[in-house]
Amino acid sequence: MFSLTPARSAVLQALADTFIPALPDGSPAGSTGLNLDKLQEAIREQPEGAQNEFSQLLDLLEKPLLGLTWFGPLKPFRKLEPTQREQLLQSWAASNVPQLRKGFNALRKLCTLLYYGGSMAEVPAAWGRLGYPGPDEKPVDSPKPIRTLHPTEDTVYECDVLVIGSGAGGGVVAGELAEAGHDVLVIEKGPYCHGCDFTQREVDMLGKLYDAKGTLSTQDGSIGILAGSCLGGGTTVNWAGAFRTPDYVLQEWAREHAAPHFTTLEFKESLNAVARTIGVNTNYTRHNGQNQALWDGSTKLGQEVKLIPRNEKGLTDSDSHFRSLGYTTLGDAHGIKQGTLNTYLLTAFEHGARILADTKVDRVTISQGRATGAAAVHTTADGRTIHISVKANRVVVAGGAIQTPALLLRSGLKHPHLGRHLHLHPTVVVGARYPHAMNSWHGPSMSVVNDTYTMLHGTNFGAKLETPPTHPGLLSMVLPWLSGKQHHELLRDADHLGSFIVLTRDRDGGRVSIDKNGMPLIDYTLSDFDRANMLEGVRAAAQIHVAAGAEKVYLPHSTLPTLLTKDGVLQNPEVLDKLPHLSWKPNQFGLYSAHQMSTCRMGGDAATHPLKLNGETVEVQNLFVADGSAFPACSGVNPMLTIMALAHFTAQGLKAGRAIEAQAVALA
């Protein structure tokens, strides 16, 4: 397991001071308040191979041989002059050696996130220099409406249905089945947070609410992956967009994957049912700066824009509600967002379901080809680990498209397509500086969408243009780093920055496998086809920024190509034209995913689809999957509502299955 020796700690302090140097304006250096404990915790969440790599990287930085990596002096990193340290990092960022680019980006992201997303709060007025007001006011403490289990010793539970995961998939299944009278036990890997547990500080909440403490990534380090890991799962931390699955996608799934139920009235009724339960609406009245820019720029170019349906209730146009909406990606402290935490899980609890948080399932237990329960480990409030055994008649896995296939592989399933066909909706950020304050960290993170580019060149593939959260920690990771001074100056403009995301519906997928310890390994390389569609979206986003009045547009490449405007006219269009001709190797540009899908896909051909149409695995009876991993291919839209609808549809089948079993017993 990775450990921070004194030497490694000193190297990290020096790295932080190089990525974020002290400046004449009084801004402190990056090592000021750098929380090395949180850094160590994040590294320990990685697979063993990644931990070893990071250890080797820090140890290399302590050796004179380091000079060979950049043709510089044969000195350890700490013995170099500040300018030399910066030159070394710049050379790694531009290196043709993939491991050096990977190392640079891993160090850069960790140092900048910990500083801008956490440590700055401890430095007087530091956030103020960015124009960032800091987290919303602390809400009044209130009792937790769900009472979770708190075992203190090794325990055996028995239930009718074991649901593993509590997000858009697991939460819905639990609520539907418990309300129908089933004895349900929900196991969640992450914690149960409510109200004032949501501190709205980025580092704290990423560490508490997201898988791998917010540092999940592909094996080559090129794609950062955001996946909820708390009670309520992704619905607790997502951006509240509640998109209906496009008809052309449902038709594609039905046609190409022999899954006709996606175009039935019954599936549409499931979509309607979950939309009602989570209060989907477009009743909000205000946009933040960047959403208004997406609306204004698109409209000026003659492109259609739409309001994004969101699952929030009780909103007013008050300043307090508007401000608080900007923080719900870090957990909604005010109960406005209607994720499963406030809807289906609450229903499940009120109908007798037991809920066990802070518990990692090691494997599903299987006997004679049937699922019989699970073996898990629970972490108590005082940090002890105790063993949990569950005996269940049916098991529903809903851990998300990374953890679900990993669990099934650990449990001995061997379907050749299990873990394959990983889709990520690979996403890049196109930022811009506006002459007026944008304050895009307030208001709904995403309230406007441009769908002009979703079906490019006569295909079902393309890109959506939306907007992301823009708190300083995430901004610091997304904005390219050319030097400490340059990067800090970009962040100093944070209150004038507006960002659009280009969310690509990827045709070509990746894979989830497991290491010798059963930890998930994620492999994904953006294909030429998908990159071409992404870059068309980047060009469109840049042009919309220009039309909306941006002064500068920052294109998403590590060399930071920058567009300049005057009176709404682009002054250097050649920079945009050259974009596709840049090198787009892994870690030469920032790529992210908040949507993971299709690693345990459902379909009519058992040879190529690990799931039957009712959600049951082909290999094991009474073992079901109900999350985004069951999608035949990616949804092309933010997937929450589609996952919930598929889980709802699967739950109706589970109810009917028990009724049929009961009839058979009665007749016997």
Centre a 10 Å sphere on the Cβ of residue 150 and count the other Cβ atoms it contains: 11
**Number of residues assigned to the chain:** 668
Angle, nearest 10°, between helix axes 98-116 and 202-209? 120
Q: Which of 415, 595, 609, 648 is catalytic?
A: 595
Nearest to 520, CA basis, from 428, 604, 419, 447: 419
For 88-127, give the secondary structure using H, E and C: HHHHHHCCCCHHHHHHHHHHHHHHHHHHHCCHHHHCCCHH
The pair of structure tokens assigned to 381 is 């409030």
CA distances from 554 to 253, 342, 499 (A): 36, 38, 9
Q: What count of Cα atoms within 13 Å lies in the side-chain half-sphere of residue 80? A: 27
Asked whether 526 and 457 are in contact (CB, 8 A), the reply is no
> 471 an active-site residue?
no
Longest Cα–Cα distance of the chain, Å, equals 85
The whole-angstrom distance between residue 260's C-alpha and the CA centroid of its chain comes to: 30
The pair of structure tokens assigned to 393 is 């008649």
For 588-648, give the secondary structure using H, E and C: CCCEEECCCECCCCECCCCCCCCECCCCEECCCECEEECCHHHCCCCCCCCCHHHHHHHHH
Nearest to 41, CA basis, from 190, 214, 194, 201: 214
Q: How far apart are CA 596 and CA 225, in angstroms?
A: 8
Non-local CB neighbours of 272 within 8 Å, separated by 6+ positions:
none
The pair of structure tokens assigned to 19 is 């990525």
Q: How far apart are CA 226 and CA 214, in angstroms?
A: 6
Q: What count of Cα atoms within 13 Å lies in the side-chain half-sphere of residue 486? A: 12
Q: What count of Cα atoms within 13 Å lies in the side-chain half-sphere of residue 649? A: 28
DSSP 479: S
Q: How far apart are CA 378 and CA 622, in angstroms?
A: 24
Q: What count of Cα atoms within 13 Å lies in the side-chain half-sphere of residue 602? A: 28
* Active site residues per annotation: 595
